Amino acid sequence: MTVKQLFSTTVFCATVACPLAHGVDLRYFPSVEHYDDEEIRLHGLATLYPGRVLFEDPSLSLSTASESRESARVEDLPRDIKYIRLYRLDEAQAVLEEHQAHPALIVDFRYLRSELAAVPILDAFAQDEWLSGLTTSGHAPEGLIEKTDGRFTQRDTPVIVLCNRETAGPFEAVLDKLQRAGAIIAVGEPTAGRTGFYEKTKYAAWTLHGEIRPDEATSLVGVGFQPRIHIKTGAEENYLSYHLYEAGTSIVRLLRQENHTATDSQSDEALDTDKIEPDPVLQRGVDIVAALQVLQ
């Protein structure tokens, strides 16, 4: 190739000065100049450490699953199973204590949100000493981990606990401890990981400055409590299977057909299993209870 040919086929690019902010090209990072270094740092930390920097108020309101003013609802399921759906953890102690000795017990924590650790309340599930190691780190509310009366209910089988990503609050660490102690078997999805306590900054961000942990080395912030039996469900399926009951559907209609008894079939509400899919998390809980009953 001659020099003339080279010049005729080469494109020359003129160097154009590009506007920069925070060391990046504004053409590719538009509006970044409106943020200062601290805001960018906080957003970076939020990405690197999920759940430790929040950009919405971290306070946990009451569960949005139901407008019911009840603390809990109790239903009888096939195989002599007692089902308790919790709405208000702070008011649920009497209900849990009433049924804690029932041999086949399922307690539904899905969509439950609470600021409590609820140690004296959830102690109703314990069969032996279980609090050892439960601790707080950093700045946590005083008296968060309350003492228990030291009395335990002897059970032949663990309590089945249902949970999902909307199960949120310091009590997640307590559920973790109870599962490790063998007092419960959790079924569903990992919980929200809202076991931290936050301090607001001037940038409308809340940064972690304390937490409750199941033990000194284990943080559940942004990770959540891991159920022993993990059930993967889609967001729509998860929402509908839970809220059909809230809309008035009989709880037995959310189980597989073989779980229905003759009494159920003769009720005023005809079972229509073609239209209503079973609640997969509740159904797995029932299956586990059935298996434990066979093993006894």
The CATH number given to whatever domain includes residue 277 is 3.90.226.10
Categorize the per-residue pLDDT at 276 as very low, low, confident or very high, splitting at 50, 70 and 90: confident
Q: What pLDDT is stored for residue 85 in this prediction?
A: 98
Q: CB burial class (10 A; 0-12, 13-18, 19+) of residue 61?
A: exposed
Q: What pLDDT is stored for residue 202 in this prediction?
A: 87
Q: What pLDDT is stored for residue 145 in this prediction?
A: 94
**φ/ψ (deg, to 5) at 277:** -75, 145
- Indicate if 108 and 246 belong to the same structural domain: yes
Phi-psi region of 8 (alpha: psi -120 to 50; beta: other; left: phi over 0): alpha
- The answer to whether 79 touches 134, Cβ cutoff 8 Å, is no
Taking only the tens place, the pLDDT of each residue in 173-205 is 999 999 999 999 999 999 999 999 999 998 889
Number of domains the chain contains: 2
- Indicate if 145 and 244 belong to the same structural domain: yes
Tell me which residue range forms the domain holding 135: 72-295
Q: What is the mean pLDDT of residues 22-43?
A: 90
Residue 55 has pLDDT above 90, yes or no: yes
Residue 9 has pLDDT above 50, yes or no: no
- Indicate if 172 and 283 belong to the same structural domain: yes
- Indicate if 38 and 147 belong to the same structural domain: no
Tokens representing 174 are 């307590």
- Indicate if 180 and 279 belong to the same structural domain: yes
- Indicate if 37 and 87 belong to the same structural domain: no
- Indicate if 11 and 139 belong to the same structural domain: no
- Indicate if 262 and 160 belong to the same structural domain: yes
Taking only the tens place, the pLDDT of each residue in 211-259 is 999 999 999 999 999 999 999 988 899 899 899 999 999 999 999 977 5
Q: What pLDDT is stored for residue 106 in this prediction?
A: 98
State the helix-helix crossing angle for 235-246 and 280-295, rounded to 10 degrees: 80
d(CA 126, CA 290): 21
- Indicate if 208 and 282 belong to the same structural domain: yes
Name, in order, each residue with C-beta under 8 angstroms of 248's C-beta and a sequence gap of 6 or more: none
Residue 94 included in any domain: yes
Ranges 64-73, 78-87, 104-113, 195-204: which has the least confidence:
64-73
User: Above pLDDT 70, what percent of the chain?
Assistant: 85
- Indicate if 22 and 145 belong to the same structural domain: no
In angstroms, the Cα distances linking 191 to 65, 86, 174 are 15, 15, 12
Residue 158 included in any domain: yes
